[in-house]
Every structure is written in C-alpha cells, then in structure tokens.
A and B are shown apart, each in its own frame.
Chain A
Amino acid sequence: MSTPEGVTISRTGEAGAFGGELLTVNFGPHHPSTHGVLRLIVDLDGEQVRSVKPVIGYLHTGIEKQMEALRWQQGVVVTDRHDYLSPPINNLAYALAVEKLLGVDVPPRANALRVIMSELTRLSSHLVWMGTSGLELGAMSMLMYCFRERDTILDMNEEISGFRMHTSYIRPGGVMADATPRFLEMLEAFIRAMPGHVDEYEELLTMNPIWRSRTIGIGRLSAEDAKVLGATGPMLRGSGVAWDLRRAIPYSGYEDYDFEVATSDLCDCYGRYLVRIKEMRESVKILRQALDRLPDGPVNVDDRKILPPPREELETSMEAVIHHFKLFTEGYSVPPGDVYVAVESGRGENGCYVVSDGTHKPRRVKFRSASFVNLQALERMALNHMIADMIAIIGTADAVLGDVDR
C-alpha cells in the first residue's frame, strides 16, 4: 500500500470542494478508539472524509502457523486468543470442525453447556462493545455499568473452567468439565438480574440526545452493500438482513431454542446498537431455556481414542494406561480431509477451516474472522462523513484487532 513514510499529515495538493486542499491524515494505530491497533490513512477535505485505507497487521501473532505445530487437542488453547473477547465461541468453531472430521457427536449435556457458554460470551462481548463505544461517544458511565455485568460473567467463566478470560472450555469431544452446582446458581441469579440491567443500559442510551445525534444517520450501509461486502453479524442485521448462523445453519442444538433474530432497518450506527441490545435480550432468553432444560448425562464423548480415561480407571485398567499414555505423548490422529464450520459470534461469522493429512497435527487451520471481512466495509460507511464520526463508525463495526490480524 502506498503510505506516506513516517509522515502524519501530508498535503496531496488536490483541491477540495470547500476551497481548501485535501489532507492525508494518519489515524491511529494508537488512537484509543481504534480498539487495539488499527491504522487508517484518511484523506480529508476540510473535516470530511474522502477516502479511508485501513492498514492492519500490527497485532499479527501467527496463530495459524502455530496451530500447525501443535497437536489437535493443544490447538484449543491457541483458538482462545485470536478473538480475545469471545474465546468459547472460537473454541466451539474449532471443536465442531475437528468433531466433524472425526465423525463424532457430543452428548446433549455438552451441547447445552456449549450453548450456555456461547451466549454468556456473546453477552460479555456486547457489553465490552457497549461500554467502550459509550465511553468514546461521551456516555462515560456506560463503561462502569457494562463492566459490572461483564465481571459477573467472568466470575462464571472462572467457576466453570478455572479461567476468567481464555477459558479453553469447549474442546473436541465435549467440554472441559461439567458445570458445578455453584455455577448453575450463579447463572440462575444472572438470568434473573440481566433483563433489568439491559433496561438500565437502554435508559442511559436509547433516548440519550447525545448518543442519538452521534449515531443516527451515521455510517450508513445499505442491505445490498452489506451483502456484497460480505459483512456478517450485527453489521448485516443492522442493515435489515435477517441472517444469523444460529438460525440459518444451526449447530450445537440451536434449532431447539426459541429466539428471534434481531434486525433493524435503520442501516446506521444506531441500528447496529439496537440490534446488539436486542441480541442481549435474546441471549438471556436462550440462557433461560438452556438452564431450564439442561439434560443430565456425560459431558464428553465416550471414546478413549480422543479423550483420556477417568483418573480412577488408570489404577485398575492396563488399557486405560495405554490410552492415557498415547493421548498425552502422540495425541490422536484425525482422518484426512478438510472441513469448514461456521458459528455466530458477537461480531458475525466466526469460521474454522481445518485440513487434516491424517497425522496428529493439523495440516492447515484457517480462521475466517468476522472482523477481518467487516473492516473492509469501513470505507463505504465512512465516506463523506465528518472525521469525528469515524469514532462512531469504527466503534459500531466492532472489530477486534486480534481477530483481524490473527
């Protein structure tokens, strides 16, 4: 990309529409509102945006390369870290892909726990989005309110998996451990309290004149543009397209839950905000159903070739010792082939394309990240808006830069 070398402002010499000339301005990479390190090279005519060129790669960590060097079960830990605001959903995409290649189905209780963790993650991801976007657009208290509930979710993560953020909870073959009684109590209390909290956020923002004037009519993306640019998630639903992978291509038993796909026809930043608020309410609805109907039974497939035997079997069974030894030295092998599985994360389609060459390590793992594709729509949304509106537009695109750069 032709970038002005080390220069933050340069004059192109081109005449603008208001009698001045165009300026090329470097926006980021350390601007606080870029949610990570996103650099935008913006051509400005006065205060109006004439072109936007995102420059990415500052958070590239080589996750896809690392996956090739790790055994199948070790890769789960790495998947946590690309979209660092929704680790269990990343785990889920990878686990489903590996399971599809192996041809195993997880027990119903594992599916229900996966749904519970996915929805909690969606909530916490939307809470981070709303807190930081509120902060950027002048609603300072949003951050306090949203992080209060997010902390409850992190407490639940800790209770069920031992980790607050990078849980590695969902693994090929099932989940890490069964839910504890205390987790179920915390979840029950959370489900009761959360609708009231969402009402609080709405009281703070939905009719807030500053919030409305900064988001309504800003960053328009028509339904046709959103589809052509490949946008997914709240970006697409905020443009009025009712496309949700949980409904369109159900996985993990989502077809059994009763929920609405949130959409908004406003096609602007405010519409995307309304979609996320609605999604939070729907997530709570799904959590309620999942908790009420949580089936009993095992949480892992009963297959010693994929998952280690229980600790007590090791003392009595030679077979169990052999399986245990094989799994922790070599790992398991996955039949040759390739598979793509997509799940709906808070940001859109979070997919995992896995190629196996029949060995105990993947040949190739590609993460299809929603943020990477959604970010390409930035220029379409920002064109001819004021530079200050870029903050709202980047905010509601909700790109996680770890997910963009992987």
Chain B
Amino acid sequence: MISENLILDRGVSAGDAWMTVDPADIRQALSTLKDGGYRLLVFLTCVDHLVDASRSFPARYELVYELRDMDKPEHLRVRAFVDGDPPRIDSVHDLFPPANWEERETYDMFGVVFNDHPDLTRILMPDDWVGHPLRRDYPVGGEVVEFSEEHEIWQTAPDKA
C-alpha cells in the first residue's frame, strides 16, 4: 500500500476516510493507490478555501480525488493543497482516463493548470470566456447580459485574458 512518508495528514470526515499528500507527489501517491486496488477515480474536483475561517488550510486551492475500490467496496479521498497563480499540479489522465474531462472542468472553473494534460482547454464555458467562475472571488451575476449596452463594452476581452 501507500508508503507512510507520502502522507502528510489523514483522518475521517463524516465517515469518509481521507489523506493529504504533497501536490508534488500526487502521481506517485495515486499510482500506488491504484495498484493497491483503488482503480476507479469517482470524481476529481477543486475547493477554493478563500477566507474560510472555520478551519485552517495550508493553501487556497484544495484538489480532491475520490477513489474507490470496487471489490471491497471502499472509498478514499486524497487531497492536495496548491497555491500560486496559476495553481499547478501534475495531470493524472493517463492513470485514470475519466480524469481527462474532470481536469479540463477543474481548469475551466478554477484555473488550476494540470501539467502534461493533452488538451487543457475550457470544456463547459465558451473558449473566449474571461475568468474562472467557481473561484470564490468570481461574483455571481458578474456576467454581462448579451445585446445590452453593457455588452458592447464588455465584448472586448481584457488584454490579460
């Protein structure tokens, strides 16, 4: 199974087992877990912990990998905390094929860049969209109503899109 020195922290949240690993070790951790029986990546997502006073987090973005051993059946949540602009982590699309679209979605919604992803483009939002909607500092209602006066101004995307 996974060697103890990869695990930074572990625990149980509302009955779900989880462990935290260093983002630099994510591929190594997930591939050892995959060899240990956790063959299905149920989902992959990101949580933005911008100004969350309830707990303390090592970094703003938390990548969440929910793994499942279908034979037992057992769940395991692997977390990795990343920071930076843009936040970066290695892609796991070759270990778990469903991660391909999930990583594109996470890039689209949170701006997390997955290194070595074959086609890291927006998947749900239009290709020319500015910003990453699920970040906590992206306002609800911030998008412009099309064909309004406001739209004329906004149509020209800022240079640093």
Contacts and interface: CB of A to CB of B under 8 A. Distances in A.
Given A65-B134, A338-B14, A57 B126 contact: yes
Interface string B93-125: 000111011000000010000000001011111
Contacts of B122: 57
Chief secondary structure at chain A's binding surface: mixed
Candidate in B45, B49, B77, B138 with the most chain A CB atoms within 10 angstroms: B45
B47 A57 contact: no
B41 interface: yes
A57 B42 contact: no
B37 to A, nearest CB: 13
Interface string B125-152: 1100000011010101000000000000
A405 B101 CA distance: 11
A189 interface: no
A339 B98 contact: no
Q: Which of A68, A103, A340, A406 gathers the greatest number of chain B CB atoms within 10 Å?
A: A340
Contacts of A69: 140
Given A230-B98, A353-B64, A363 B47 contact: yes
Contacts, number: 98
A298 to B, nearest CB: 24
Contacts of A243: 70
A227 B40 contact: yes
B52 interface: yes
A228 interface: yes
Nearest to B126: A57
Contacts of A406: 124
B39 A337 contact: no
Interface string A351-380: 101010111000110101000110010000
21 contacts: A56-B123, A56-B124, A57-B126, A62-B133, A65-B140, A68-B140, A69-B140, A227-B40, A227-B70, A338-B13, A338-B16, A339-B15, A340-B16, A340-B42, A340-B77, A353-B64, A353-B66, A357-B55, A359-B54, A364-B45, A368-B43
Q: Is the interface of B mostly helix, strand, loop or mixed?
A: loop
A366 B14 contact: no
A376 B16 CA distance: 27
Interface string B73-91: 1010100000000000000
Nearest to B62: A355
Contacts of B49: 363
Contact of A227 (B39, B53, B55, B101): B39
A230 B125 contact: no
B98 A229 contact: yes
**Size class of the A contact interface (CB-based, 8 Å):** 35 or more
Nearest to A369: B43
Nearest to A229: B97
Interface of B: 13-16, 39-43, 45, 47-49, 52-55, 64, 66, 70, 73, 75, 77, 96-98, 100-101, 109, 119, 121-126, 133-134, 136, 138, 140
A363 B52 contact: yes
Given A60-B124, A358-B54, A376-B101, A351 B42 contact: yes
Given A65-B134, A100-B15, A357 B97 contact: no
A249 B13 contact: no
Nearest to B98: A230
Nearest to A364: B47
Nearest to A355: B47
Contacts of B121: 1
Contacts of A248: 70, 73
B52 A357 contact: yes
A358 B119 CA distance: 37
Contacts of A351: 42-43
B14 A337 contact: yes
A57 B133 CA distance: 14
Nearest to A53: B119
Contact of B134 (A1, A64, A353, A357): A64
Nearest to B143: A62
A339 B13 contact: yes
Given A1-B121, A62-B133, A336 B54 contact: yes
Interface string A80-108: 00000000000000000000110100000
